[in-house]
Structure 1
Amino acid sequence: MNTFDRSEDPPVTIEVIQQVKPDREAEFELVLHDLLTAAQSFEGHLGVNVFHPDDRAHPEYRIVFKFDRLSNLQSWENSPLRRRLLERTHSLTIGAGKYQRLTGLETWFTLPSGGAIVPPPRYKMVIITWLVIFPLINIIPPFLNNLLAPLPVLLRSAIGAILMVSLMTYIVMPRMTKLFAKWLYPKSL
């Protein structure tokens, strides 16, 4: 088994913005369905959200994929299956589209701006974060205090903070986002 620094293979969020030719949305949605179904079969896929166009004259789709590791995303991106499915979209779309990749903590704090991922309402982010932080701060510090009793209090706190941030970034928040996706992003698929 290979050991590696997890920071070199972080969780990743991908946003694709693609404009669809007018009156080709139904065909695009069929191919998109196949694309999303195929992505779900790949290791590390944590979920996808699709934001449908508001402007019928310039239909623009925003598709947000989440993977548990960059290496798993790269397996999906480099797959012949994905390439074949993307080829089916070429006659239905305008241009190459826009692509944005976010990793680590930046996926927690993405600000809404032109082309950026639109986060859910703040109150929803607060509720989900609280659902995760509350148990962590009641389990990890007491456990670490007993385990690391010989160390100075400040060092124990630093270790606890690193452990909680790592758990939040790499394990817990990606799964909570997937679990609560329909509530966080009610306009998505």
Structure 2
Amino acid sequence: MSATGSRTELPLPDRLPVITIVELKPKVPMAGEALGSIFHIINAASRFEGYQAADIYRKVMTGAPTEYAIILRFDTYDHMREWNNSPVKAQHIALSKHFFDEVKPELSLTGLDFWFDNKPQGTTTPPPKWKMLLVTVVVIFIMLNAVMPLIGRILSYSGLPGLFNTLIGVVVMVSMMTYVIMPAVTGLLHRWLFTIQDSQSKN
């Protein structure tokens, strides 16, 4: 640290790494072709700016068709959006869709703004990013230490691979935060989070 002093800059929420998750069910006679198309899609994504990593999880259950979950990670939401909206991705999806019986809706874990959509009347802008970051860190810390262990114990009876259990746990946790916890938290803390403008005071 220099004599003049320095400080550590925290990354803005919209500059944090983001992931996108896609679950696919290949057609039984085309399992090999389906897996090959997945690798082609990942290879295409890896050529885009901001690409960081990809993981493929295989779900195998007795008497049920094989399913795959693809997780792509980018360094920012903007870079992930460039890939998602690209003609390259659209072309690969069009060429491979006949290999799959089902492609579930894509789940994107992005920045923090979408968790603070529950704005009170008279507010048109999201809270300051430092407030969103603070609230989200506290909520995630509580979830990781209180909810995730419980989900882990429940999923331990499923017989699924540990990595797939982790994926399910993350999806459950994020879903709870999106639809239950964050709306309740933003409602409880709305006076602190948001700046409410009284339009009548301006007249």
TM-score, normalised relative to structure 1: 0.51
Aligned counterpart in structure 1 of residue 102 of structure 2, from 95, 99, 103: 95
Task: Tell me what 1:78 maps to.
Answer: 85
Alpha carbons 2:22, 2:103 under 8 Å: kept: no
TM-superposed CA distance for 1:79, in Å, is 0.9
2:166 match: secondary structure: coil
Q: Using the alignment, how far apart are the partners of 2:58 and 2:105 within structure 1?
A: 15
Task: Tell me what 2:122 maps to.
Answer: none
Q: 1:83 to 1:43 in 2, by over 3 A?
A: same
| Residue 39 (structure 1) aligned with residue 86 (structure 2) | no
Offset from partner CA, 1:133-167 (integer Å, 9 cap, x none): xxxxxxxxxxxxxxxxxxxxxxxxxxxxxxxxxxx
Q: Using the alignment, how far apart are the partners of 2:66 and 2:29 within structure 1?
A: 9
2:106 match: secondary structure: strand
Task: Tell me what 1:119 maps to.
Answer: 166
TM-superposed CA distance for 1:119, in Å, is 3.1
TM-superposed CA distance for 1:99, in Å, is 1.9
Computing the radius of gyration from Cα coordinates, the structure with the larger value is: 2
Which amino acid in 1 is paired with 2:94?
Answer: E
Number of residues of Structure 1 aligned to a counterpart in Structure 2: 114
Alpha carbons 1:17, 1:97 under 8 Å: kept: yes
Alpha carbons 1:22, 1:57 under 8 Å: kept: no
TM-score, normalised relative to structure 2: 0.48
Aligned counterpart in structure 2 of residue 69 of structure 1, from 76, 79, 86: 76
Instruction: Show structure 1 runs of 5+ residues with no match.
Output: 121-189
2:105 match: secondary structure: strand
Q: 1:11 to 1:118 in 2, by over 3 A?
A: farther
Alpha carbons 2:51, 2:73 under 8 Å: kept: yes
> Equivalent pairs: percent with the same residue?
21
Aligned counterpart in structure 2 of residue 26 of structure 1, from 25, 32, 38: 32
Q: Using the alignment, how far apart are the partners of 1:53 and 1:91 within structure 2?
A: 20
